[in-house]
Structure 1
């Protein structure tokens, strides 16, 4: 598994912030419920995402060696005005510029506190790339707009999600994570629309000692097939398994079991 270059993550954050701003300014109803995050409105989702970026900017810029409380982050909850797309857009634009500047200045190897055991600024560049990748999908679904993401970013989002699930199993073995343990079961993810050089296939094995995974094409207990973006969104529970873009082969119950229990913790 190879990470993307640090500058690639920084470029992608800038681009994704721009696309999220486009959703805000598209005329979409900011009070609309987000189907994939039903407790949130579109505006709540945007403020959450921008707030996460602001928090990371402060962590990276100050080289924080411990977690910074949310209440210490300036403008973490967004502009005072509610329901104002112009104010929300301006806040997002400033937020994106701030976090990208902090990450570029730090480079990938600066020592910074992080919750997943990888205490570098590079961890945060990758994490914020995929925070945006997934929450921008939430926003476009809520706004009824088309969604697309670059193949290398979509594939890396799946890699990162699997690494997070591994980390949770090792360090936070809550009931849902423990239930993923067990012998003789496996999941295959197969992107059908990319060249073999991209290697957009994954094998996930659920073992007694936890999950393991690798890129590759192998027979498994259940397979999820479709275009790479659809596979990513399905694996992140942003696209239903019954969607026409996706095909499930084998024991669907195992895939559903995984999707219910694979969490951040």
Structure 2
């Protein structure tokens, strides 16, 4: 998958949603946030990750120190600022090298890791905006499946989220995709593939992705302890 092309497309669709929206609209799936705050978060996030790459930042970057980190006050200027974010990230990647290790909140990763992370920030926050505005949301199955795998990998690398001996099997029904997530002592590990789990959940890629990121839960088949399904997603929230 071309993550940069997908990021540019998701960024554009996010902007289209907010073009004529009331910026003071509350975002229920991001408690305490308005669309104005969500908009700034997405636009600044692309520049934040770009600056981490271009400046070879070590140890994180204060969002207040992001260059051009605030949108202009006028609508058209703000949208141009939003849509410019992926280009800034693309330029930073080209200058630094996609395979160059840089800081991430999970430890050193190749710079291109940030593109995939920013892509799925955009897919999730586009859902936040759509739901806040009562608008329909759709996500291509292959992109949703990529989001599932990116979420699994990010969460597994961040902290233990399953007790030792517990295994979760996820399975998409509209595109190929199966993952096994295992709780081990002090860590969570995963691999693609089929197997028997303590809990199995299957459904369309979009539905499974939105459930994993705690945005919407519908259309899923759950086999096993539903309390485990709920508690695991809460422990994995980020």
| TM-score under structure 1 length normalisation | 0.81
Q: CA deviation at 1:258?
A: 0.0
Retained in 2: the 8 A contact 1:29–1:143?
no
1:180 matched to which residue of 2?
162
Aligned with residue 204 of structure 2, among 199, 206, 227:
227
- Name structure 2 gaps, 5 residues minimum: none
Q: Secondary structure at the match of 2:201?
A: strand
Q: CA deviation at 1:78?
A: 2.5
Q: How does 1:1-265 map to 2 (within 5 A)?
A: 4=1, 8-25=2-19, 27-79=20-72, 81=73, 85-169=75-159, 177=160, 180-183=162-165, 185-194=166-175, 198=176, 200-240=177-217, 243=218, 245-264=219-238
Deviation track 1:128-157 (CA, whole Å, cap 9, x = no partner) reads 111112111211211222222233332222
C-alpha spacing 1:207/1:68, structure 2 compared with 1 (3 Å): closer
Retained in 1: the 8 A contact 2:156–2:188?
yes
C-alpha spacing 1:103/1:152, structure 2 compared with 1 (3 Å): farther
Q: CA deviation at 1:105?
A: 4.1
Q: CA deviation at 1:18?
A: 0.8
Q: Secondary structure at the match of 2:130?
A: helix
Q: What is the count of residue pairs matched by the alignment?
A: 238
- Name structure 1 gaps, 5 residues minimum: 170-176
CA distance in 1, matches of 2:50, 2:102: 11
C-alpha spacing 1:13/1:126, structure 2 compared with 1 (3 Å): same
Q: CA deviation at 1:215?
A: 1.7
1:173 matched to which residue of 2?
none
C-alpha spacing 1:35/1:48, structure 2 compared with 1 (3 Å): same
1:172 matched to which residue of 2?
none
Q: CA deviation at 1:164?
A: 1.9
CA distance in 1, matches of 2:97, 2:140: 22
Deviation track 1:168-191 (CA, whole Å, cap 9, x = no partner) reads 22xxxxxxx4x63232x2222121
C-alpha spacing 1:19/1:133, structure 2 compared with 1 (3 Å): same
| TM-score under structure 2 length normalisation | 0.89
CA distance in 2, matches of 1:85, 1:145: 20
CA distance in 1, matches of 2:18, 2:96: 29
